[in-house]
Structure 1
Amino acid sequence: MKRLLYVLFFIIGGMLFGCESSNEPDAPLTPNIRTLQAYEREMVDASSLFAMDLFRQLQQGDDPNLFFSPYSIHQALSMTMNGNRGDILREYLEVLRFGNMSQEDANSAAKELTEFLLGVDPKVKMAIANSIWYREGMQLNPVFRQTVADYYAAEVASLNMASPQAKDVINHWIESKTNGIIKDMLDYVPAQAIMYLVNAIHFKGDWKYQFPVSNTVKQPFQTGPGRQVEVDMMSLDTGADIRFSQQGDITYLEIPYSTGQYSMGVLVSENFELDKVVSALTLEQLNGFRSNAAMRSIQLSFPKFKMRQKQDDLKEVLIELGLETPFLPHPENFSELFEQVSGGMELSRVIHDAFIEVDEKGTEAAAATIVEVVVTSVPSGPISYRVDKPFLFFIQEAHSGAILFMGKISNPSLGG
């Protein structure tokens, strides 16, 4: 069901953020609009272009559905870029589609655009949070610490990464910032781990025109020519004011939330050639669909759905997009992270987890991104390990490898 491409467009356009319905239906709902600075508009374009780049790479897999938050991934990698300089910094800027923006302008745009999105709708229920966890005992570069605090409002803390509870600390933080939706995201902390840069986002919104639950019935959804499945289809009783356009075989519409300041954009290929449309789609074309859409009275039917999709590692996808050096043991990687580190550093994993539920009332979605930085050799110093389980043992000669004695201990308290 790659027809779920509309999910991408409600994310990449920054068009979907939650809003709670008022207890007073007649209360005025006025969005907090202001003029965006030039570099903020560049940030919007950068995030959207990055979203489209990433979508093209991810959709090459076998899964018929796809859901992710390019905004979350973009935020996490934007924080990460500040640990670098020179050519490696430029590599981040290019892959993140910042174009000719300076590092300072990119950071300023990230900060101010996030603040705008969080405050634009008085009925919005949304959270965007960043955190950085670094190996206990290491000295974080104060310039880097200040940068991520000032521009990304990042919580920064040291962490005993040798502790079995290290992953739980990060997982609990993510869970708390996503309204309990994204759980147990980080599966383990490798011995070489030196830093985690994390973004979490949660939004929940009510439709401006809610679908009556009694109208939801099983109806066919066409997955291809002559192929269909049964789904729960929601329907409005009457026509609703929805921006709508049709250009050739492409239908575009925007289903509004709350004040209408945020909406879910939907792009449909009527001749089942959505993959071809996506492969050729440009930001200019997408903006054209938006600008050409006009308000129409639409008696809308829309499928009800819920899905969660986790990308265990975006490494290969990001390398394909051009972010290569950070994943290699390059001596200049992360030169701005710590005051002193013995050995090189590199990106190990970029993990992403996303959830969405669309029902008669509205939409709830959450996502998180984890960027894992490791040293290319395990940091020096003692480690703790307790042999407290049954074990096999050998007494052997080193040169020949001959085993002289062999045994097993299942209960050391029992003497022979």
Structure 2
Amino acid sequence: MKKTFLNIAMMATAVLAMSACSSTKKISENNSNDMTHLTADDDLDPEFMVLSDAQYDLVKRNNQFALNLFSEMKGMGSKVVSPMSVTYLMAMLANGAETTTRDEIMATIGAKDFNIDEMNAFYAYLMKRAKTADKQTNLNIANYIALNKEFKLKKDYAATIDKCYQGAVEALDFNDGKSTQRINGWCSEHTDNMIPSIIDQVEPAAVAYIMNAIYFNGTWSEKFDKNDTKKEQFYGFTRDIKYVDMMHRNAKYYYTSNEVYSAVTLPYGSGAYSMTVLLPNDGKFVDDVKKCLNADSIASLRRNMEECLVDLKLPRFTTEMKLSLKDIISKLGAPSMFDASRADFSSFANGNVYVSEMLQKAKIEVSEEGTKAAAVTMGMVKLTAIRPDEPRRVDFHCNRPFVYMIQDNYTGAILFMGQYGGLEKLKD
């Protein structure tokens, strides 16, 4: 029998206790679809906890948002984005919004059919899980609101950000240059200096800067030997030949293939997180891979993987990117929050406000040791199985552009996603 990746991942990953924000009741044994039963202080036996169908549905819909976001990143060069970081920022914005503005935000990130308490509970759970899922992997999710001292957050909103998103709220003098240093210092602190800054200068007229930071530092479960890394040819989008530092390892990995691409999953640490690399077949391209990716195909990809002996070649690379999200998020279904005449953030703070800018800075470093990745997303608010006896042998040589994603193996949530085109560092 083939040894499937999903079965092994589910067995290897301990199921953690749910954390939520609206009740102290415990989840019933019938696996209720209600996601608001637990608080962050509940201590349940993880062996008896599983995600409900509703929770898996929320992950699936949010992964579709991740793919939609990734598909909007045009161009042939190397790119990286953290859809999860964008999701956390938008979820915090949703809590301050009402009417159409809230509906659009929640629908865009896949939470259309969920009430806001259910959504908050699930993202609180993911934050708690990030701290404990894998002791050999560092995943940190942090939230922060730098508030113009002339304004005051609504009491209920501030309580939700504190309880569900563990978000620090700090009143600053936006006329003082030290506020810029403080905001950028928070970015640096929560990304191990991978993202040292997010703004050039605080705008005195701004009401608040709402931010999420995600930092990932994972060591491969089985590292590459640096002595096996060689300069090798890499064929770019136009078939131009570049030379990259190509890592090499011959070992057992989970692998699958179809008529468009082949895929290999590289686990980190004890296996709670992994990187999946999707390599276009000969005659196919990254755009062909993107076109056939959706939430269902991502789920089936994981189910269909089998353990093979893989001759793996993967470039050592660094990619960093600054991405303006305002037009992209508007196109994906949430335009009103950027429109001063239509935005409804009546649950956020005193005064009529709207989101004047949204952007993300992201960076990823892939080496023989593992992967470091970080992202800061900012919104500026202004007033108005069984082991086979003989594993199949396959070659997986990433000598041409490819797609990759870093996922939580238990929930399937996509933390980072990108493409490598042979350029080491690309900024917009």
Report whether the alignment pairs 1:300 with 2:336.
no
Take 2:69 and 2:106, find their aligned partners in 1: how far apart are those partners?
15
When residues 225 and 63 of structure 1 are mapped into structure 2, their CA distance, relative to the original with a 3 A threshold, is closer
1:83-122 → structure 2 map (5 Å cutoff) = 83-122=96-135
CA contact 2:145–2:168 (8 Å) conserved in 1: yes
Take 1:40 and 1:249, find their aligned partners in 2: how far apart are those partners?
30
Report whether the alignment pairs 1:249 with 2:257.
no
What residue in structure 2 maps to residue 323 of structure 1? 334
1:18-29 → structure 2 map (5 Å cutoff) = none
Report whether the alignment pairs 1:33 with 2:15.
yes
Deviation at 1:279, TM superposition (A): 2.5
What residue in structure 1 maps to residue 80 of structure 2? 67
Task: Look up the SS of the partner of 1:300 in the other structure.
Answer: strand
* Structure 2, gaps ≥5 residues long: 1-5, 17-49, 385-428
CA contact 2:130–2:141 (8 Å) conserved in 1: no
Take 1:259 and 1:321, find their aligned partners in 2: how far apart are those partners?
36
Deviation at 1:331, TM superposition (A): 5.7
Deviation at 1:159, TM superposition (A): 1.1
CA contact 1:40–1:113 (8 Å) conserved in 2: no
* Structure 1, gaps ≥5 residues long: 1-12, 14-28, 377-416
1:374-398 deviation line (CA, Å, top 9, x unaligned): 014xxxxxxxxxxxxxxxxxxxxxx
Q: What percentage of residue pairs aligned between the two structures are identical?
A: 26
CA contact 1:310–1:354 (8 Å) conserved in 2: yes
2:383 to 366, 375, 389: 375
What residue in structure 2 maps to residue 268 of structure 1? 279
Take 2:120 and 2:169, find their aligned partners in 1: how far apart are those partners?
17
In the alignment, residue 15 of structure 2 is paired with which amino acid? I
CA contact 2:265–2:277 (8 Å) conserved in 1: yes
When residues 215 and 194 of structure 1 are mapped into structure 2, their CA distance, relative to the original with a 3 A threshold, is same
Report whether the alignment pairs 1:359 with 2:367.
yes
1:86-235 → structure 2 map (5 Å cutoff) = 86-224=99-237, 226-235=239-248
Take 2:61 and 2:260, find their aligned partners in 1: how far apart are those partners?
28
Take 1:365 and 1:165, find their aligned partners in 2: how far apart are those partners?
27
Take 1:360 and 1:134, find their aligned partners in 2: how far apart are those partners?
41
Of 131-140 and 72-81, the range deviating more from structure 2: 131-140
In the alignment, residue 364 of structure 1 is paired with which amino acid? K
Q: Which has the larger radius of gyration?
A: 1
CA contact 2:187–2:376 (8 Å) conserved in 1: yes
Task: Look up the SS of the partner of 1:196 in the other structure.
Answer: strand
Task: Look up the SS of the partner of 2:150 in the other structure.
Answer: coil
Deviation at 1:31, TM superposition (A): 4.1
Higher RCO, 1 vs 2 (CA within 8 Å, ≥6 residues apart): 2
Q: Could you state the TM-score of these two structures normalised by the residue count of structure 2? A: 0.76
Take 1:54 and 1:94, find their aligned partners in 2: how far apart are those partners?
14
When residues 224 and 177 of structure 1 are mapped into structure 2, their CA distance, relative to the original with a 3 A threshold, is closer
When residues 110 and 247 of structure 1 are mapped into structure 2, their CA distance, relative to the original with a 3 A threshold, is same
Task: Look up the SS of the partner of 2:81 in the other structure.
Answer: coil
Take 1:181 and 1:273, find their aligned partners in 2: how far apart are those partners?
30
Take 1:109 and 1:323, find their aligned partners in 2: how far apart are those partners?
21
Name the Cα RMSD after superposition.
Answer: 1.9
CA contact 1:42–1:98 (8 Å) conserved in 2: no
Deviation at 1:117, TM superposition (A): 3.0
Deviation at 1:30, TM superposition (A): 6.4
Report whether the alignment pairs 1:46 with 2:57.
no
Take 2:298 and 2:253, find their aligned partners in 1: how far apart are those partners?
17
Take 1:63 and 1:247, find their aligned partners in 2: how far apart are those partners?
23
Take 1:39 and 1:144, find their aligned partners in 2: how far apart are those partners?
25
1:67-105 deviation line (CA, Å, top 9, x unaligned): 011111111111111111122110111111113111111
Of 219-228 and 350-359, the range deviating more from structure 2: 219-228
- Structure 1 segments, 4+ long, off by >6 Å, are none
When residues 252 and 331 of structure 1 are mapped into structure 2, their CA distance, relative to the original with a 3 A threshold, is closer
CA contact 2:337–2:343 (8 Å) conserved in 1: no
Take 1:200 and 1:278, find their aligned partners in 2: how far apart are those partners?
26
1:316-346 deviation line (CA, Å, top 9, x unaligned): 11111121111111365210112x32xx311
Take 1:191 and 1:155, find their aligned partners in 2: how far apart are those partners?
21
Q: Could you state the TM-score of these two structures normalised by the residue count of structure 1? A: 0.78
